[in-house]
Chain A
Amino acid sequence: MSDIREALGSLAAARAALDAGSLSAADLVEAALTRAQDHAALQAVVGVRPRHARDEARASDERRAKGERRSLVDGIPMLLKDNMVVAGEATTCGSRILEGFVSPYSAGVVERLQSAGAIVLGRTNMDEFAMGSSTESSCFGAARNPWDPSRTCGGSSGGSAAAVAAGIVPAALGSDTGGSIRQPAGFCGVTGFKPTYGRVSRWGLVAYASSLDQIGPFTRSAADAAALLSVIAGHDPRDSTSLPVPVPDYAAALTGDVSGLTIGMPRECFVEEGVEPGVLESVREGVRELEAAGAKVVEVSLPHSRYAIATYYLIATAEASSNLARFDGVRYGHRAEGATDIDDLYRRSRSEGFGAEVKRRILLGTYVLSAGYYDAYYKRAQQARTLLRRDFDEAFAKCDVLVTPTSPELAFPLGEKNDDPVRMYLSDIYTVTANLVGVPGLSVPCSPAAGMPVGLQLLGRSLEESTLLRVADAFQRRTDHHEKRPPEPV
């Protein structure tokens, strides 16, 4: 493995190379741009900003020459899911409706990355408006899994997962509304982290479902995730749902010691039915590893988790139907030609601009909020959310961390679930609960099955990201699944 490929493989390696002076930020940016091209067939990256990235790299190198370093990620190129706005750059959310849109302002996470010296290299592919579990509904075409390009990389942040897995960049950001960071991380064999709801600012994240959306990192390791999370986490006075609490030193939590911690296995998540062979066995093996490291393992129950997918789809689509009303062809984005009146303009612009899955969810959300159905669907889902939260409170009274598979399946072949929305939705069965109750969730690679990565999901108490990172890091100190790299393209 060449030095440069090694350096783009993780934040720790990139930082080490920069600190040793063996590579410059400019070298990293050039190499990342080249790798993005070499991996073009993955369709993981949908846009790069080479000129700005080179300028930023030069500035970082100049700082470093003067002995300054803004943060642990200074000079390191990263990619953002295409639903976080960057001033002066396009943002599409994988949708035709945002064609031509250039944001006049930057997202909170972008400001934080840039003031930490990180280099925003470009944008990654995603399911249209983050609605999907396979990154197939993007207007740019499907992203592919670096481990097997005939398979999906998961979604909706599939491009970010694939880009980190393929080593195009050492880290990327994604967003997670029902599992959209963790599931693709599991499919691609990288570490994906959804922090506590409110931990990372949503300012400048194009909303899918506001009460569930959360930005988080894709990295090679939990240690890298800790480094990146400490850059992007923290209160933002522009986001009413941003938590006004201090951000702990995540790196300091990585002690490697999990003795004294109790890990709960929700009984409902370890039922063979509906789970692909090999998945549960890999996860159980991972749990045994943690047990061997000194953690105590107990069985717990989340009795309402069987309602989670239904609850999630009602809440998420209701919020989405309203959040996506602003895409109307009036102030930005796609406008249909030749509309005869304003309603015609709305209908045609939106019908031309949105893909089938987005329309399906907008219609479902409109339906569940409409007069006569609100109580039966939306309100009931909010009540189910309360019951689910109580389940978690009870479970966390018995354990510090919950462990489950990230997904009930391995990365599936492209096109396999496109005709069956409900089957696609069930892909998120283990992940949606964390969004509904707001707790942090993390996926780390455990032992592969049938040659494909398997994700082990850890869920923690609200704001206890440190505990999750500690457990994940301890696991990665004892295993090498996260270090495995997919084959290079021929």
Chain B
Amino acid sequence: MSPARDFEWQDRYEAVIGLEVHTHLATESKLFSPAPVRYGDAPNHAVHPIDLALPGVLPMLNDRVIDLAIRFGLAVRGEVNPRSIFARKNYFYPDLPKGYQISQFEDPVIIGGSVQIALEGSEPRTIHLTRAHLEEDAGKSIHDPALAGSDASLVDLNRAGVPLLEIVSEPEMHSSEEAGAYLRALRSILRYIGVSHGDMEKGQFRCDANVSLRRIGTQQLGTRTECKNVNSFANVEAAIDAECVRQAEVLDDGGDVVQATMAFDPATGRTRVLRLKENSDDYRYFPDPDLVPLVIAAERIEAVRRKMPELPDEKHARFQADFALSAHDAGILTGSRELGDFFEAVVVACEAMGTDAATRAKAVSNWVLRDLLRILKERDLELEDAPIEPQALASLICLVDAGRLTVKSAQQIFPDLVCEGGDPVQMMTAQGLEAVSDSGVIEDAVARVIEANPDAVASFREGDQKSINFLMGQVMKRTQGKANPGQVRELLIQKLS
């Protein structure tokens, strides 16, 4: 890959990118078998005779996937197909025990829909979805010479039959950044609505990228290639960039891009041809005669709609309107469902404790965006795994609000509160951090500071307002930061005027 060409292909070509995402649905059991959906078991420890395709077994649909599919359809504002059909996709592969995959072909469960993406510095865009359909995952072929010898592979069917939603986008993205933004937005939606855990490391969210180039100024789509099973956001973006460069080189040399399935090698940063698309890919789809059509009544869709959780973009708008947050702050707070829920829970708890309504949301968002996220990042902790309760942060904010705790002391307590949990009142007492509001102690400190700092006193009296801050700092120092700053300020001004 020559850097010069890498730099310039975009001057001549426009990338056209469509993505196919396979996401595991959040169920207890498999799509057509009651075997548990589990990750990390030893081979064939989570299987049922159905997953082994033993002679005589039959598929029976998992009821929950219907609701999850509907929920996704509503979230992306697609059409829930009232009658979708399970079809067999026939091919031989050792991790495909039946010799066919049960999928949906002509009549998918969700038709259309869209996802909003926003890239920094450009207008938000709508990426349209072609469809989303239900299908079963395959098992795994393990190529480990240590286990199987160099001329054999192992077959583990634990994953065989795990429910998947395959979400197919229209070819509407034009850069790897847009593709990455789409994938993040899609994963966020899936996690928000509880349809998928979307854990990429567990293979719960996998992406195939269809990429083609066309000369700028033309409408004719070029021949596309498909990069299979790229397993992280960064790799998807890198794979698309690498494939665009490769295709540009082929086209620049006067060649034709050949329709093929590509593999991306993260080690080299390059794509290579895995297999040419030939007519041998004859999957002989036909309606699965072991199953009847998936009929979804309008009432069921309505029932799911009534229980729909709020979507990221809805929450984003509401946070701006209800809490007077900036688009930016609201964007971060709604970036994950856990963070947005935590924020709201703290606000609600503050309200119950009677914090001042005007400053409440601002204070909470400051604590969350500034302190909480920093601490989580420093400690490499996920919010879900952090012991802090929303109630505890609310009570900390109330202590500050009531003058019982200075901001400084509160910040001193906060990391422990996040990482170990606990009650701020107890922590404050135990660490002797309660703000001093005993006027005798403060008056004494003020008198000593005035006495010890004649220069600062003089310049204040000459009209230098800043020197009051210096004097205040001195008083705080004397009281180990525990004096109520408002009270100190008031006293100082009173004594000096």
Complex A–B touching at CB under 8 A: yes
Of the candidates B56, B60, B100, B155, the one whose C-beta lies within 8 Å of that of A84 is: B56
17 inter-chain pairs at a CB distance below 8 angstroms, sorted by A residue, are A83-B56, A85-B54, A93-B55, A107-B56, A203-B56, A203-B58, A207-B290, A322-B284, A322-B286, A324-B99, A326-B98, A328-B92, A331-B54, A331-B155, A332-B54, A369-B90, A371-B279
Q: Is B124 an interface residue (CB 8 A)?
A: no
Given A238-B58, A366-B284 in contact, is the A326-B99 Cβ separation under 8 Å? yes
User: Is A240's CB under 8 angstroms from B56's CB?
Assistant: no
The 9 closest A-B pairs by CB, nearest first: A325-B99, A211-B289, A369-B284, A210-B289, A204-B56, A206-B55, A326-B53, A85-B56, A210-B290
Q: Is A319 an interface residue (CB 8 A)?
A: yes
**Roughly how many angstroms separate A318 CA and B90 CA in the complex, as a whole number?**
11
**Roughly how many angstroms separate A374 CA and B49 CA in the complex, as a whole number?**
31
**Roughly how many angstroms separate A322 CA and B87 CA in the complex, as a whole number?**
11
Q: For B292, list chain A residues within 8 Å (CB).
A: 240-241
Given A105-B49, A207-B56, A240-B61 in contact, is the A370-B284 Cβ separation under 8 Å? yes
**Roughly how many angstroms separate A105 CA and B292 CA in the complex, as a whole number?**
25
User: Is A331's CB under 8 angstroms from B289's CB?
Assistant: no
Closest to B283 in A: A371
Give 15 new A-B contacts, CB below 8 A, not counting A326-B97, A374-B286. Answer: A85-B55, A91-B56, A105-B54, A202-B56, A203-B58, A207-B56, A209-B289, A240-B291, A319-B289, A322-B88, A325-B98, A325-B99, A328-B94, A332-B54, A378-B286
State how many residues of chain A have any CB contact under 8 Å with chain B.
Answer: 45
Q: Is B112 an interface residue (CB 8 A)?
A: no
> Distance in Å from the Cβ of A343 to the closest Cβ of chain B?
8
Given A98-B55, A369-B286 in contact, is the A330-B94 Cβ separation under 8 Å? yes
User: Is A240's CB under 8 angstroms from B284's CB?
Assistant: no
Q: Is A121 an interface residue (CB 8 A)?
A: no
Per DSSP, chain B at the interface is loop
Q: Is B203 an interface residue (CB 8 A)?
A: no
**Roughly how many angstroms separate A208 CA and B94 CA in the complex, as a whole number?**
22
**Roughly how many angstroms separate A321 CA and B289 CA in the complex, as a whole number?**
12
> Distance in Å from the Cβ of A421 to the closest Cβ of chain B?
22
User: Is B56's CB under 8 angstroms from A325's CB?
Assistant: no
A positions within 8 Å CB-CB of B: 83-85, 91, 93, 98, 101, 103-105, 107, 202-207, 209-211, 237-241, 318-319, 321-322, 324-326, 328, 330-332, 342-343, 346, 366, 369-371, 374, 378
**Roughly how many angstroms separate A448 CA and B52 CA in the complex, as a whole number?**
48
**Roughly how many angstroms separate A84 CA and B57 CA in the complex, as a whole number?**
11
State how many residues of chain B have any CB contact under 8 Å with chain A.
Answer: 30
User: Is A202's CB under 8 angstroms from B99's CB?
Assistant: no
Of the candidates B49, B55, B94, B100, the one whose C-beta lies within 8 Å of that of A325 is: B100
Q: For A210, list chain B residues within 8 Å (CB).
A: 289-290
Q: What mask results when residues 18 to 54 of chain B are scored 1 for a CB within 8 Å of chain A, else 0?
A: 0000000000000000000000000000000100111
**Roughly how many angstroms separate A202 CA and B88 CA in the complex, as a whole number?**
19
User: Is B90's CB under 8 angstroms from A101's CB?
Assistant: no
Of the candidates A203, A318, A322, the one whose C-beta lies within 8 Å of that of B100 is: A322
